[in-house]
Amino acid sequence: MLERPSPNREPRPDGAAIDILVLHYTGMRTVEEALVRMCDPASKVSAHYCIDETGTITRLVPEDQCAWHAGQSWWRGYQNVNARSIGIELANPGHEFGYMPFPAIQMTALILLSSAVTRRHNIPRRNVVGHSDIAPSRKQDPGELFDWKRLAAAGIGLWPRSTNEGDVEDVHMMMETYGYQVHEEGAIAAFQRHYRPGRIDGVPDEETAQLLAGLLEIAD
């Protein structure tokens, strides 16, 4: 693991539990551009870790301090997600600069790092989220090409159990129960980007309801 300390950090509030893991993509042309930006005091952004396309991990902020990665966000009633989360950036050009699949070696490194982080802090599996899950009106990352199912198979995050249960009229209620801020624009599309990446239309349809019901059956 490489070390590249970022000044963009602050102490965690007294008593704040670390119980959320947020995954991002850098959304920049190169990983070096992203690292420079996350170490620039003027940018006011950072993350705890960054993983490049070859699987090399760089630590920027110690886990016992806040990194500035979540911004205005919400998850399960928590508005200051930075205060209680670990942020991991994955080098990827993102939707603006030529979004592409995440290399297998990068995903393997992410699984190893995330496994250690979630065990160290006893992070619930339902609290392993993407930036778009906690800020759906602003963010799309890590995006529809990210392999959430593979992560869940490794014990990181959740993947819905197959079920025929779930009513369309209950979609918003189930989303709120799971953790989303449902009245925020783009919340349903964010859920679909995570759990139904083949069709992201923001429509609360039967399949979306069944996916939510399947998640709630196994949510910790």
Catalytic residues: 89
Beta strand pairing status for 2-3 and 128-130?
Answer: unpaired
Contact 53, 47 (CB under 8 A): no
Instruction: Indicate the SS3 state at residue 20.
Output: strand
Give CA 89 to chain center in angstroms. 9
Give CA 11 to chain center in angstroms. 22
Instruction: Look at residues 85, 171, 65 and name the one whose alpha carbon lies nearest to residue 128.
Output: 85
Peptide bond into 142 cis (omega under 30): yes
CA distances from 50 to 17, 25, 154, 169, 179 (A): 22, 9, 20, 40, 25
